């Protein structure tokens, strides 16, 4: 649904974005991750038709992002910028109405859309508030409501959780997950990979203007971790279980974390993991929990970015 081909826009020789090839499937939530200054906003602005690329192409669905297609692109996408502008003296309702009118939504339908959009963004209670009186978190909610007022198929959200407290970040994630269930394709940027991992189907990691990796969180983790990391919790002695595990085919380094917990590296296939578990049980180990460890995403991210700098 969103695709770019060798998208480049340079600011001087080192800054900007260079040959970015994004691919966001329809209905997916795509997390666009990178440090400050990595090139997220630049890429997003090009996708929304707000900045011209120097070279390369971009498509939203089957519409190529070109100056003449901007009106079509604007109807198809909802763009939430990283910084929400300063507002005039308007109530939240008036602000929404203003945007609804800009999209030429007829007044009767506009009312319905405004109500729905505010509800989806958990901002209904602010309807009569003055825009200037809103806190940062409240403003983000209204900005999201504004972004979906014309019922766009694609949402492009630049740091939607930026500046929000932990609770508000969770709420924003939930709202975004809800929007996906309405069939929207969503690209959102962040500089925190672990935060995105819980709601994203795919992630793209950008550093110094280059897209270093793109895929599912599992695929990206697999790029740096060839071995599967296992976590095993036992009700019997962990040391005995670890020694037994160490003699199992495919098991590399094992580590006893505490009286009940072991981690182990495994170089075999996922399909043969059941044999590892069976071996433990057959040898009298009381296994309570046996699974792949959650990836340490911060670690994954730092490794990919570090490799990209070589
Ligand atoms: N108009 C501009 N003129 C000059 N340099 C620019 C311009 N816009 C962006 N850049 C540079 O391009 C690079 C990428 O900036 P961009 O805003 O895309 O980063 P970002 O990933 O969105 O960062 P952040 O997390 O801070 O929002 C930076 O080095 C930035 O200084
Ligand atoms: Mg930015």
Residues pairing with 281 in the sheet: none
Q: Which two tokens stand for residue 38?
A: 């990595």
Q: Which two tokens stand for residue 105?
A: 């939504």
For residue 190 and ligand 1, the question of a CB distance below 6 A is answered with no
* Å from CA of 36 to ligand 2 middle: 7
Cβ contacts of 243 within 8 Å, gap of 6 or more: none
Q: Which of 120, 113, 165, 158 is nearest to 141 (CA)?
A: 120
Q: How far apart are the first and last CA of the chain?
A: 32
Kindly report the pTM of this predicted structure: 0.80
Pocket of ligand 1, candidates 14, 37, 196: which has the most ligand atoms within 8 Å of its Cβ, to mutate? 37
User: Do strands 185-190 and 154-157 pair parallel, antiparallel, or not at all (unpaired)?
Assistant: parallel
For residue 191 and ligand 1, the question of a CB distance below 6 A is answered with yes
What is the overall mean pLDDT for the chain?
90
* Å from CA of 242 to ligand 1 middle: 49
For residue 36 and ligand 1, the question of a CB distance below 6 A is answered with yes
Question: In order of start, what are the domains of the chain with their CATH numbers?
Answer: 2-222 (3.40.50.300), 226-294 (3.30.70.100)
The CA distances from residue 159 to 73, 112, 193, 219, in Å, are 21, 28, 12, 23
Ligand 1 atom nearest residue 39's Cα: 18
Q: Which of 130, 149, 33 is nearest to 86 (CA)?
A: 130
Ligand 1 atom nearest residue 35's Cα: 25
For residue 289 and ligand 1, the question of a CB distance below 6 A is answered with no
The b-or-e profile of 117-129 (16+ CB within 10 A means b, else e) is: bbebbbbbebeeb
Give tens-digit pLDDT for 135-168: 888 999 999 999 999 999 999 999 998 888 888 8
Give tens-digit pLDDT for 91-133: 999 999 999 999 999 999 999 999 999 999 999 999 999 999 9
């Amino acid at each position: 649904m969103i695709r770019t081909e060798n998208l480049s826009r340079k600011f001087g020789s080192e800054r900007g974005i260079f040959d970015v090839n994004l691919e966001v499937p329809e209905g997916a939530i795509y997390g666009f991750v990178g440090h400050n200054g990595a090139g997220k906003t630049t890429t997003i602005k090009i996708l929304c038709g707000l900045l011209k690329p120097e070279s390369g192409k971009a498509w939203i669905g089957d519409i190529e992002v070109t100056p003449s297609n901007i009106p079509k692109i604007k109807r198809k996408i909802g763009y939430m910028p990283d910084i929400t502008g300063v507002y005039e003296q308007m109530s939240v309702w008036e602000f929404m109405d203003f945007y609804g009118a800009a999209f030429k939504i007829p007044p009767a339908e506009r009312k319905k859309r405004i109500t729905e959009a505010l509800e989806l963004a958990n901002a209904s209670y602010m309807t009569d508030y003055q825009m200037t009186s809103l806190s940062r978190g409240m403003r983000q909610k209204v900005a999201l409501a504004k972004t979906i007022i014309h019922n766009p198929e694609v949402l492009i959200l630049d740091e939607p959780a930026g500046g929000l407290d932990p609770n508000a970040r969770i709420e924003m994630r939930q709202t975004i997950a809800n929007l996906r269930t309405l069939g929207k394709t969503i690209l959102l940027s962040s500089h925190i990979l672990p935060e995105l991992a819980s709601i994203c189907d795919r992630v793209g990691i950008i550093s110094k203007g280059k897209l270093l990796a793109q895929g599912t969180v599992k695929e990206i983790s697999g790029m740096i971790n060839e071995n599967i990391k296992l976590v095993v919790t036992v009700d019997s002695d962990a040391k005995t279980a670890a020694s037994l595990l160490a003699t199992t085919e495919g098991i590399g380094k094992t580590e006893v974390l505490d009286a009940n917990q072991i981690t182990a590296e495994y170089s075999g296939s996922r399909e043969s993991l059941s044999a590892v578990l069976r071996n433990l049980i057959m040898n009298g180990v009381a296994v309570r929990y046996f699974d792949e460890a959650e990836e340490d995403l911060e670690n994954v991210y730092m490794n990919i970015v570090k490799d990209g700098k070589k």
